[in-house]
Amino acid sequence: MLVTGPRGTKDILPEASGNWQYIEQVVRDICRLYLYKEIRTPVFEHTELFLRGIGETTDIVEKEMYTFTDRGERSLTLRPENTAAVVRSYLENKLYADTLLNKLFYIGPMFRYDRPQAGRYRQFHQFGVEALGSKGPAIDAEIIMLAVQLLRKLGLDDLTLYLNSVGCPQCRPIYREKLQDFLREKTLHLCSDCQSRFERNPMRVLDCKKEKCTEQTQGAPHIADCLCDECSTHFNQLKSLLTLAEVDFILNPRLVRGLDYYTKTAFEIQYSPLGAQSAVCGGGRYDGLVAECGGQSTPGIGFAIGIERILLALEKQNLLPVISNAIDVFVAPMGSDMQGIAFKLLCKLREKGITAEMDFMEKGIKWQMKQANKYSAKFVAIIGEEEAAQNKVMLKNMLTGVQELVSMDEVQQKIELDVEA
Ligand code: HAM
């Protein structure tokens, strides 16, 4: 019996990998522009990191982690997200010693045990950025701009940026109490998840997508009315900066995000044609996370973009680039005796940086010409006994159809001349 891939995982097949490379290149270019440097952390971490970092009452920690005990009896978890891991690495490697502001990015797989559907997988990939060290709103604005500019560069429109402030440990408890007062009499009408959230994490009730919960939370108090002076000033300054940068946003007081580490700024970018999984980007500020992970109190902000969702959006808008796989030359030996000479030519051409392929299947010339067309080869170098005897090849220009007998040493030159022209 064939062993299939695990549910919720996807193979990125050769014909699709070019699209991934394209997105990754755009990501790398934009990070270079904004001076964010790549960090690569392991795909598994000690489970405790995520318990502390993401929060024990979040859906991710309660229901979605791939946790296992290794042969040394350690509890490890495949990373469900990368912010906590980047903070761990920042502290462990003392990145704070080199510079006051660390601007980092990552691209890689994340793992969440969730119900798979279009745009939601158990192994998925994120591009994320984290800026550690600055508490001012300008870095929040830069981070949001980076996400917006990336999505614009990919050509995506129809995007909506939602913005909120979730306060800080000073003002959030006051709001929490106000919200609980509002929800207390409605708890029986909430979904079972939200009934348990009421005590442990009431703000998450606002974020529940179930209809009965959205109905019950109509008219709930807004956190904006409870923000302390510091959070309120920060939020107002961020809004002004985004306005200066001509970035449109919609204030969404219900946006609380699914991870506990957020303080102050929270944002999401949605692409509504994706339906239930329309969030392509989510992020926010996490001023308490570094201290939570054992470091000195250090502010941070970042976001992550789901690459699969971006790909779905690009496909929907027909924005994926046509990737050319054209080669310069296809070397066609006529008969197995010519394989050696053909292989020698192939190696020589490749060494000179010419994209070349040959027939490894020992087929006839007709099949080989078809192959050459499949590769969109600019030239075919045919080597038969006659040509080989003169140390020559029959070089066919596939665009013009012109064939000429050229010496082995000339092949490279002829192709290069044509490629340059
Ligand atoms: P998140 O909102 O959990 O945030 O995930 C960010 C993005 O990852 C989502 O908007 C979505 O595009 C994608 N994503 C999440 N789960 C899945 C899934 N199961 N399948 C496919 N795509 C998915 C975080 O992960 C935070 N670490 C972001 C952050 C960085 N906050 C501050 N810094």
Residue 420 has pLDDT above 80, yes or no: no
Question: Which of 11, 13, 14 lies closest to 325, judged by CA?
Answer: 14
Residue 228 has pLDDT above 80, yes or no: yes
pLDDT of residue 384: 97
Residue of 110, 287, 307, 314 to test ligand 1 pocket, by largest number of atoms within 8 Å of CB: 110
Residue 209 has pLDDT above 90, yes or no: no
Strands, E assignment, 133-278 = 159-165, 250-251, 263-271
Q: What 3-state DSSP class applies to 78? A: strand
Rounded Cα distance, 246 and 22, in Å: 27
Measured from CB, residues less than 6 Å from any atom of ligand 1 are: 81-83, 112, 114, 119-121, 124, 126, 128, 130, 258-259, 279-284, 302-306, 308-309
Q: Dump pLDDT digits (tens) for 369-391.
A: 999 999 999 999 999 999 999 99
Q: What 3-state DSSP class applies to 326? A: coil
Output the residue whose Cα is nearest ligand 1's atom 11: 306
Q: 270 CB contacts (<8 Å, ≥6 apart)?
A: 159, 160, 162, 278, 279, 280
Cβ-count burial 39-78 (b if 16+ within 10 Å, e if not):
bebeebbebebbbbbbbeebbbbeebbeeeeeeeeeebbb
- Alpha-helical runs (H) found in 35-98: 47-54, 59, 83-92
**Burial label, 219 (beta-carbon count in 10 A; 0-12, 13-18, 19+):** exposed
Task: Provide the pLDDT confidence category of residue 421 given band limits of 50, 70 and 90.
Answer: low
- Structural domains in the chain, sorted by start: 14-168+228-317 (3.30.930.10), 329-420 (3.40.50.800)
Rounded Cα distance, 281 and 270, in Å: 7
Q: Dump pLDDT digits (tens) for 229-250.
A: 999 999 999 999 999 999 999 9
Q: What 3-state DSSP class applies to 166? A: coil
pLDDT of residue 276: 87
What is the biggest distance separating any 2 CA atoms in the chain, rounded to whole angstroms? Answer: 95
Residue of 36, 105, 309, 311 to test ligand 1 pocket, by largest number of atoms within 8 Å of CB: 309
- Amino acid, single-letter form, for residue 113: Y
Question: Which of 391, 364, 359, 363 lies closest to 377, judged by CA?
Answer: 359
Looking at every residue in the chain, the average pLDDT score rounds to 95
Index of the ligand 1 atom closest to the CA of residue 259: 3
Residue 175 annotated as lining a ligand binding site: no
Index of the ligand 1 atom closest to the CA of residue 257: 2
Instruction: Please give the helix or strand (H or E) that residue 410 lies within, else none.
Output: helix 408-420
Rounded Cα distance, 330 and 379, in Å: 6
Task: Provide the pLDDT confidence category of residue 287 given band limits of 50, 70 and 90.
Answer: very high
**Burial label, 2 (beta-carbon count in 10 A; 0-12, 13-18, 19+):** exposed
pLDDT of residue 158: 87
Residue 130 annotated as lining a ligand binding site: yes
How many CA atoms does the CB half-sphere of 286 hold within 13 Å? 29
**Percent of the chain predicted with pLDDT > 90:** 91
Rounded Cα distance, 15 and 195, in Å: 46
Encoded tokens for 365 = 């010339």
pLDDT of residue 258: 86
Index of the ligand 1 atom closest to the CA of residue 268: 10
Encoded tokens for 344 = 């020698």
Q: Dump pLDDT digits (tens) for 74-132.
A: 999 999 999 999 999 999 999 999 999 999 999 999 999 999 999 999 999 999 999 99
Index of the ligand 1 atom closest to the CA of residue 281: 10
pLDDT of residue 4: 97
Output the residue whose Cα is nearest ligand 1's atom 15: 306
Q: Dump pLDDT digits (tens) for 167-187.
A: 999 999 999 999 999 999 999
Residue of 90, 124, 287 to test ligand 1 pocket, by largest number of atoms within 8 Å of CB: 124
pLDDT of residue 419: 66
The answer for 257, left when phi > 0, alpha when psi is -120 to 50, beta otherwise, is: left
Encoded tokens for 396 = 């066919």
